[in-house]
Amino acid sequence: MMQSLFISFEGIDGCGKSTQVKMLMNRFEKESITALLVREPGGTQISEEIRDVLLKNRNDKMAERTEALLMTASRAQLTKDIIIPNLESGTVVVADRFKDSTLAYQGGGRGLDLNYLVKLNDFATYELDPDITFFIDVTADEGNRRRNSGISDRIEKAGIDFQHIVREQYIKLAHMYDQRFVTIDGTLSPENIHKTIWTTIQNRKNS
């Protein structure tokens, strides 16, 4: 039996996170390891209601701090109701985005003070950190290209700039939290990336 493990996936939009999360969940199933997937924002009724508020106002007049508070409020409910109890019962929990997304998007992208966000995150997560954070790294151009399936004329310049700042922030976070961050070149094949991820998890389990 595998001891409980909390794994998060991070990276800019289009980096290949969902692809890897899916491959990893299939792998756990094949190996008969109980694993739970959580996606932010959402995952509990309260978190879903907060998600509605976030999405309805996404392009409207929501203040950046409100966005950060709502994101972390949703995370607090998910952490308390789902993540912590599952980890305590020995289940592996895989999070498609967790606290580092706040630091990268609201911190880097929207320029909010990182010190505030780190504290807010710790408060929201009952100071829970992932055991391993896989940062799938691609350039903003590559992420955009993948999201738009090659139709590059629809990409707004501001969109790419934003993704670029978010990526730079992730690179900074990988240095800040080098104990748990594993940076993977997202331009490798999905199979190769999965292999690295699985090997890392195996090594962690055996250490």
Binding site for ligand ADP (CB under 6 A): 11, 13-19, 146, 186, 188-190, 193
Q: Minimal distance in Å, beta carbon 187 to ligand ADP?
A: 6
CB nearer to ligand ADP: pick between 28 and 135: 135
CB nearer to ligand ADP: pick between 6 and 170: 170
Q: Minimal distance in Å, beta carbon 19 to ligand ADP?
A: 3
Q: Minimal distance in Å, beta carbon 123 to ligand ADP?
A: 27
Q: At what angle do helices 64-78 and 45-56 cross, to 10 degrees?
A: 160
What beta strand segments (E) does the chain contain? 6-10, 35-39, 92-96, 132-137, 181-185
CB nearer to ligand ADP: pick between 150 and 157: 150
CB nearer to ligand ADP: pick between 23 and 120: 23
**Token digits for 90?**
């020995």
**Token digits for 115?**
């010190």
Q: Minimal distance in Å, beta carbon 80 to ligand ADP?
A: 26
List Cβ neighbours of 48 (8 Å cut-off, separation of 6 or more).
42
In the block, tokens 């907060």 appear at 50
How many whole angstroms separate alpha carbon 51 and alpha carbon 41? 6
Of the candidates 34, 127, 39, the one whose C-alpha atom is nearest the C-alpha of residue 82 is: 39
CB nearer to ligand ADP: pick between 7 and 76: 7
Q: Minimal distance in Å, beta carbon 84 to ligand ADP?
A: 25
Count CB-CB contacts under 10 A for residue 29: 11
CB nearer to ligand ADP: pick between 9 and 28: 9
Q: Please give the residue whose beta carbon sits closest to ligand ADP in the complex.
A: 16
In the block, tokens 């509990």 appear at 44
Q: Minimal distance in Å, beta carbon 206 to ligand ADP?
A: 26
Burial class of residue 118 in the structure, from the number of CB atoms within 10 Å of its CB (0-12 exposed, 13-18 middle, 19+ buried):
middle
